[in-house]
């Protein structure tokens, strides 16, 4: 089965990587061919209960082309064929065998689907048709003071079945500076750390809105709209990670993101520069963010105007917009980088091959969030004006050869 999208955030902060024999290259956008969208399938409905979808936290595609979507609100996985027909469901809320309580991420081991339930950090395994196979929990510890860093807990499985984990990254501890780094670990089934991977700083990733004169009253936390720290993820089928350093330069140098492939032994396999055209952050855009960030009735007894000043003071505004806002890793080691919207509101995804060479640009709707690749179909999720999610499969053509239209398109 093909790799699914991660069910946990990958937006992090700046990491200085020192290459050990790494090859550094620069790729300009003028040499990258444009790929063409040729059709799509949309799965979802406003009024049909069977197809009315809730939020999708993770998505994957198997070797037969079936699409699996995990819905935390319902604690269920739906399975569709490539035409969008519902084939069945897996899991469901409960505490019995094969049932889920707090699942947010899933993936595949060969032809087996695994789902991680954060209630007890328990992995459950299913056959493609939904039959429950087995489950096991990964023990974890905790400190009495939740204002301190916690011991690592499972986050998922690598393609070879190795458990990976990290200490829980609570938003308030990141925003207050108690936690400064994400620390990935490899774990055994007893929860013991077997390997430590490079620590990755969080940086300006969490937007904490609270009363600065009384911070212990509580706060409202969300991702910084202009977060410029790196993104990272595990490389499918390899013992390596990709880290995209997207720090916005403060001086007048030509801006570029740096894509690093880092092996588990600490060596940098490659480091590639991807230049981009900087886009300024307009005051009207900041004002719009403020309008949606703060409730009309204010926060913690303060008026909306006062709470907006708290939010504006905590908003991170770099010299210009970061050059990359999204990332997806696929089979064959390919790296998809989502660029900032251009002046016309379009979003281009630049695709790199396993050696870090840019091989194509694909323009997709700005509302579409790619999550998995199956051949020449990229699957993801987008929401409509009513915030109703739809699963969408977009077929594209990456060369001059004609391709058959997507079934159901």
Helix (H) or strand (E) holding 311: helix 304-314
| pLDDT higher than threshold 90 for residue 155 | yes
CB 359 within 8 A of CB 351: yes
Give the separation between CA 125 and CA 134, rounded to whole angstroms.
5
Residue 256 in this model has a pLDDT that exceeds 90: yes
Q: Is residue 218 part of a domain?
A: yes
- For residue 1, pLDDT over 50 is answered with no
Q: Which residues of 213-237 are buried (b: 16+ CB within 10 A; e: fewer)?
A: eeeeeebbeeebbbbbbbbbbbbbe
Whether 17 maps to a domain, the answer reads no
Query: Are 180 and 202 in contact, with CB atoms under 8 Å apart?
Result: yes
Number of H helices, E strands in the chain: 3, 29
8 exposure class (CB count in 10 Å sphere: 0-12, 13-18, 19+) = middle
The whole-number average pLDDT for the span 252-273 is 91
Its domain, for residue 165, covers 23-281+317-397
Q: Is residue 302 part of a domain?
A: no
User: Which tens digits make up the pLDDT trace of 168-188?
Assistant: 888 778 877 888 889 999 999
Rounded to the nearest 5 degrees, what angle is found at the Cα of 155, between the Cα atoms of 234 and 324? 45
Residue pLDDT, tens place only, 189-203: 999 999 999 888 888
Q: Which pLDDT belongs to residue 343?
A: 66
- Structural domain count of the chain: 1
Summary mean pLDDT of the chain: 86
CA pair distance 60, 55, nearest whole angstrom? 15
The percent helix, strand, coil of the chain (3-state, each to 5) is 10, 40, 50
Helix (H, G, I), strand (E, B) or coil at 279: coil
Domain for residue 6, yes or no?
Answer: no
Residue 295 placed within a domain: no
> What mean pLDDT do residues 127-143 have?
94
172 falls within a domain: yes
**Res. 409 pLDDT band, cuts 50 70 90:** very low
Structure tokens at 74: 């319902």
Sequence-separated (6 or more) residues with CB below 8 Å from residue 27: 272, 273, 274, 275, 357, 358
Position 68 confidence tier, pLDDT thresholds 50, 70, 90? very high
Contact 22, 131 (CB under 8 A): no
| CATH code of the domain containing 69 | 2.120.10.30
Q: Do the bridges between strand 377-383 and strand 369-374 make them parallel or antiparallel, or are there none, so unpaired?
A: antiparallel
**Domain presence at residue 311:** no
Indicate whether 8 belongs to any domain.
no
């Amino acid at each position: 089965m093909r790799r699914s999208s991660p069910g946990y955030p990958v937006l992090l902060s700046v990491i200085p990587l020192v290459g050990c024999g790494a090859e550094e290259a620069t790729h300009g956008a003028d040499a990258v061919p444009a790929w063409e969208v040729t059709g799509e399938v949309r799965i979802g409905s406003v009024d049909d209960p069977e197809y009315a979808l809730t939020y999708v936290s993770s998505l994957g595609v198997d070797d037969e082309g079936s699409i699996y979507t995990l819905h935390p609100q319902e604690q269920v996985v739906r399975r569709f064929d490539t035409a969008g027909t519902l084939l069945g469901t897996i899991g469901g809320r409960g505490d019995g065998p094969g049932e889920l309580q707090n699942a947010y991420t899933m993936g595949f081991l060969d032809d087996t689907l695994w789902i991680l339930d954060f209630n007890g950090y328990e992995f459950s395994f299913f056959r493609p048709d939904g039959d429950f196979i087995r489950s096991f929990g990964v023990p974890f510890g905790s400190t009495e003071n939740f204002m301190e860093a916690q011991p690592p807990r499972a986050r998922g499985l690598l393609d070879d079945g190795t458990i990976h984990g990290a200490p829980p990254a609570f938003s308030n501890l990141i925003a207050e500076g108690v936690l400064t780094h994400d620390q990935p670990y490899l774990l055994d089934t007893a929860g013991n750390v077997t390997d430590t991977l490079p620590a990755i700083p969080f940086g300006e990733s969490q937007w904490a809105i609270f009363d600065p004169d009384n911070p212990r009253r509580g706060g409202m936390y969300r991702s910084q709209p202009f977060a410029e720290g790196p993104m990272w993820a595990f490389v499918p089928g390899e013992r390596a990670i990709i880290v995209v350093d997207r720090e916005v330069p403060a001086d007048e140098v030509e801006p570029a993101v740096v894509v690093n492939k880092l092996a588990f032994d600490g060596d940098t396999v490659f480091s590639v520069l991807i230049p981009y055209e900087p886009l300024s952050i307009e005051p009207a855009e900041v004002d719009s963010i403020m309008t949606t960030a703060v409730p009309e009735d204010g926060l913690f007894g303060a008026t909306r105007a006062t709470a907006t000043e708290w939010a504006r003071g905590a908003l991170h505004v770099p010299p210009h917009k970061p050059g990359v806002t999204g990332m997806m890793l696929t089979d064959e080691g390919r790296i998809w980088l989502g660029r900032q919207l251009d002046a016309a509101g379009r979003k281009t995804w630049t695709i790199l091959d396993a050696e870090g060479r840019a091989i194509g640009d694909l323009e997709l709707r700005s509302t579409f969030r790619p999550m998995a690749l199956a051949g020449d179909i990229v699957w993801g999720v987008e929401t409509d004006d009513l915030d109703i999610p739809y699963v969408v499969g977009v077929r594209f053509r990456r060369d001059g050869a004609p391709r058959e239209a997507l079934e159901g398109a």
